Amino acid sequence: MGLGARFQLFARQVKPKSRFAGKLLLLSTVLGAGVTLSAQAPHPLTPAEQQHIDDILHKMTLAEKLDYIGGTGFAVRAMPGLDLPALEMSDGPYGVRSNAGLPSTTYSEGIGLAASWDRTLAGAVGAGIGRDARARGIHYMLGPGTNIYRSPRNGRNFEYFGEDPFLAGQMDIGYITGMQGQGVSATVKHYIGNNSEYLRHDSDSVIDERTLREIYLPPFEAAVKQAHVGAVMDSYNLINGLHATQNPVTNIDILRHDWHFPGTLMSDWDATYDAVGAANGGLDIEMPTGKFMNRAKLTPAIQSGAVSEATIEEKIRHILTSAEMFGWLDRPQRDLSIPLYDARDNAIALQSARESVTLLKNDGALLPLNKQQIHTVLVVGPNAYPGTPVGGGSAGVVPFHLTSLVEGVGTVAPAINVLYDPGLPTLTDLAAHTDFTTAESGGGAGLTEEVFANQDLSGAPQRQLTPKHVNNTGIGWDSISGNLDDLMALFDHEPAATSYRYTGYFHAGQEGRYLIALACGGEGNGVRVLIDGHLVIDNWKYVRAFEPHLVLPLTPGAHKVVVEAWQKGPIGGRLRLAIKPEDSVVNPHALELAAHADAVIVAAGFYNNHDVNTESEGGDRTFDLPFGQDELIRAMEAVNSKTIVAVTSGGAVDASGWIDHTPAFLEAWYGGQAGGRALAEVLFGEVNPAGHLPITWERRAEDNPTFHNYYPQDDGIAVQYKEGIFVGYRGYEKNGVQPLFPFGYGLSYTSFSFAGLKVTPGSGPTLATAEFDVTNTGRRAGATVAQVYLSEPGAREPRPAHELKGFERVELAPGQTRHISVPLDARSFAWFNPTTHNWTIDPGSFTVSVGESLATLPLTGTVNISPSTARAASLPR
C-alpha cells in the first residue's frame, strides 16, 4: 500500500477521544514502526506545571521580565539563573532553514501541499520537519503560513494553503498535529490580513468583521482550536487601522478570549512599532530583538501606570506555557538519536511532490508520454535545471540534494535521449548586452549614474558615474538564504538611504516589439523606469513585482531611458535592466532541438537565484510568467506539436497567450527537493496525477474579484477588502465570471464517477452527513478528491453560491468503488452575523453538492435545518 493510502486508512480509523488523543495515534501512523516520539506531543498543563510557572515568575526581577519579552535573533533568551534554556526558532515552513546554514529535507511548499488535499500527507510533512527540528535543537518552527490567497500577485502565496478557509484549516491541522507530536511547536503565521507583500510594514488591511470571521480567521482558528498550535506570529501590516502587533481586537478579544489560545504570540521580524501599544495590545514577545519591548522603554511605562506589571507577567506566562506544553523545561530539545540527514524523510518529500502535481489540460491524451514511442525529448526552460525547489525569502529552505526535471526525466526514462536547453538567456546576460550611450547622438558608451544621499533624488548628486549597463547584483534574499546569522548582521547594520538615477539612450536597430525586463529589490527599495518620458514600470511606492517586464513597440533610433531607484535597509541594490527585440529572445539552439525532438517539455515559471528573484517574500510578482517565457512557449509550440507546459508558481499565471495551442499543461507548484523527479513520474505515467487546484485560475488578470482594489486607492496605505466574503471562487460565482480552471479542478489518467448521494440528519455536533459512492471507471489506479459544497438558496443574507465544507482524497484501483461519508457540523451551515457578533444558522433548506471540482458537481441533495436545530447548535466564537 502506498504512503498516502496508508495514512488515509489510519486517518479514518482514528477518532480523537480526548483533546489531545488524536495527535498521538496519527503520529504513530506517520512515523511508522520503530520511532516513538508521541510522548512528546503537547499536553494541557498539569497543576504542578502551572505552579512551576508561578514560581519562575515569582523569582524574576522586573528587569528580567522585560528582557524576557525581547527576542535574541532566533530565540527566546536563556535565563541560566532561572534554569530557563534558550528556546530556539527556525524558519520553515517546508524544511528547517536552520541558523547554522545546514540543509534539510525540503518538502513541497504550502500551495502544492494544499493541492494534494491530503490531510495525512500534511501530517507526515509536519512530522518530518518536526524530526529535523529536533535533530537541530529547534523548539519553535516558524510555520505553517496560512494567509488566504486573494490574488495571484501576492509574492508569498506559495507558502500558504490557497483561497479556501476550510481547505487551508484542514491542511493546518494535519501539518501542525504532525509537527507538534515531535515536541516542536508550530508557529502559525502571519496573523492576520497579510495577503500581499508590497508595502508590507505599512499597508492597512481594511476588512469587515463578517469577512474576517468567515474568510481570513478560520485557518488560524482551526490551528488554535483543533490543532492546539503552540505559537502564533503577528504580521507586519495593520488591520483596520492598527498594526497586528498592537491590535487588541485580534490579539486579545479573538485569540485569547474567543479561542482561548494559551501559548506564545510573537511578532514577525521587525514588525513591532510601539512599546506601549504592543505591550497592551497582546503581543508576548518582540522578534528578532526587543527594539521596543525593552527595559528602557517599558520601565517608565510601568512606573507611570501606562502598562501594568501583570500585563508583562501574562506574556511570560504564555511563553512558559508553550515551554511546559512541549516539555522543553524537562529535556534537551536536540535529540541526538535523530540523524541530521534523515533518509527516511526523502520518501515523504517525494510523496508530497507527487501528490501536488496538478494536470490541467491533456488534449488527445498526449500524456502520459509513451516511452516506446518517444525516443528523444527536449526539456527546456528556466526551471528545467537546476530546478526550483522553493520560493524566495525566508521560506528558502536549502535541500541536501535537489532533483531537477532534466535529471528526473533521465532517471524515469533512461532509454530516452534527454536534450536540454535553458531556452532563454538570464536577465544578467541580457542586461550585460543591453548597450546605452550617454547622449542621444555623439555620447560615450554607457549611462550617466547620479547617486544621492537621500531617498528621493533631491539636491545635488553625491557622486556621478558612467556604468556601461544597469546590472547590479546588490543583496537579495537569496544571498542570505541558509545563513540567518548573516541576515541578523545585515539588520544590525542599516545603511543610510540612497537614491540613484541612470540616464542613457538605447538605440533600436529596427522597428518592432521590444522586451523590457527589470530585476529589482523588494521591501525597502523602490524603482521606476521611464522610456522616452513615459513611465513604463512603476515600483516606486509599491513593489508590484520583483521582475516587472513588458513589451513595447519601438521605432528605429535613440530612445531615452531613465531608471530611478531608492534603497533603505539592508536588502536591495539589485537592479538589472534588459532591452531586446521580442522575436530574438528565445535561444536559437532551443528551436533546433525542439524541431529534432519527439516531444518538448517546457519547464516554465518563477525562480529565485543570485540573478533575480521572481516570486519571493518582500515584494509581489507579475501575473504573467517571467520575461520571455510566453515567447518561449509559443516558439516551442510552433516547432513541435507535442509541447507540454509545466509551470512552477505559487498560483495562477496569465496563460492567455498560449493555452489555446498548448495540448498538455500542468501546474507543478514548488515541489521541494524531489519536484523534478515527481513531475517526470507524472509525465511518463509512473504516477497518476491527482492534484486539484486550491485556487481559482483566472483567464485574465481583471477577472480576479480583487483586481480593482488589490492596491490602496489614491496612492495611500489602506487596502479595502471590498470584495468582502466573495474571495476566490465565491467571487467568480457571484460575478458570473468563468475562470480558465475552476477551484478544485485537476485531471487524472483515469476517470471517476460519483453516485448515490444521501444526506441524512446527524446527531450531536454533526448536523448532517453526506454519503455517496466514488468509483474509478478507468483502467488505471488513481486518486480523486471528493468535494462537498453547501449552499442556502433561500438565504436572507448574501451568501456564496457554494462553500466547501468537506472533502476526502480517495485512492481507487480500476473498477473499485468506495463509500464516502462526510460529516457536516454546525459551523458548516453558519454565517457570521456582524450585528449580533456571533455565528448564526438561518433555518431552512440547504443544498449539498458533491463532485470533483466546483464546475463538476454531479450529485446534489438537500437537508433542512429546523429552527430548533438552528437554535440548539453549538457555535462558539
- State the residues that interact with ligand BGC by CB under 6 A: 91, 142, 189, 268-269, 394, 617
Question: In whole angstroms, how close is the CB of 90 to ligand BGC at the nearest point?
Answer: 9
Question: In whole angstroms, how close is the CB of 153 to ligand BGC at the nearest point?
Answer: 17
Question: In whole angstroms, how close is the CB of 246 to ligand BGC at the nearest point?
Answer: 17
Strands (E), 582-695: 599-605, 643-648, 664-667
Question: In whole angstroms, how close is the CB of 91 to ligand BGC at the nearest point?
Answer: 5
Identity of the residue, 617 or 620, whose beta carbon is nearer to ligand BGC in the bound complex: 617
* Secondary structure (3-state) at 190: strand
First to last CA, the chain: 41
268 in catalytic set: yes
* CA angle at 621 for the pair 378 and 552, rounded to the nearest 5°: 75
Is-contact 627 547, C-beta < 8 A?
yes
Identity of the residue, 146 or 472, whose beta carbon is nearer to ligand BGC in the bound complex: 146
Question: In whole angstroms, how close is the CB of 156 to ligand BGC at the nearest point?
Answer: 8
* Secondary structure (3-state) at 471: strand
Question: In whole angstroms, how close is the CB of 149 to ligand BGC at the nearest point?
Answer: 16
Question: In whole angstroms, how close is the CB of 169 to ligand BGC at the nearest point?
Answer: 19
Is-contact 174 121, C-beta < 8 A?
yes
202: number of Cβ within 10 Å: 15
Identity of the residue, 49 or 523, whose beta carbon is nearer to ligand BGC in the bound complex: 523
Identity of the residue, 193 or 800, whose beta carbon is nearer to ligand BGC in the bound complex: 193
Residue type for position 850: V
Contacts of 153 (CB under 8 A, 6+ apart): 196, 544, 545, 620, 621, 622, 623, 710
Identity of the residue, 99 or 151, whose beta carbon is nearer to ligand BGC in the bound complex: 99
Contacts of 423 (CB under 8 A, 6+ apart): 380, 381, 382, 384, 586, 587, 590, 602, 628, 632, 636
Identity of the residue, 156 or 549, whose beta carbon is nearer to ligand BGC in the bound complex: 156
Residue type for position 324: E
Dist CA 665 CA 663 (whole Å): 7
* Stretch (H or E) spanning 718: strand 718-720
Identity of the residue, 201 or 344, whose beta carbon is nearer to ligand BGC in the bound complex: 201
Task: Enter the C-alpha cell of residue 268.
Answer: 514577525
Establish whether the linkage from the previous residue to 152 is cis, with ω within 30° of 0: no
Identity of the residue, 185 or 776, whose beta carbon is nearer to ligand BGC in the bound complex: 185
Longest Cα–Cα distance in the chain = 87
Identity of the residue, 119 or 200, whose beta carbon is nearer to ligand BGC in the bound complex: 200
* Secondary structure (3-state) at 762: coil
DSSP string, 399-453: -S----HHHHHHHH-TTSEEEEE--S--HHHHHHT---BSSSSS--BS-EEEEES
Question: In whole angstroms, how close is the CB of 138 to ligand BGC at the nearest point?
Answer: 13
Task: Enter the C-alpha cell of residue 39.
Answer: 510522548
Residue 20 CB-density burial (10 A; 0-12 exposed, 13-18 middle, 19+ buried): middle
Task: Enter the C-alpha cell of residue 839.
Answer: 455565528
Of 118, 164, 204, 268, which residue is the catalytic one?
Answer: 268
Alpha-carbon distance values, 758 to 770, 808, 847 (Å): 6, 16, 12
Question: In whole angstroms, how close is the CB of 578 to ligand BGC at the nearest point?
Answer: 29
The residues assigned a catalytic role are: 268
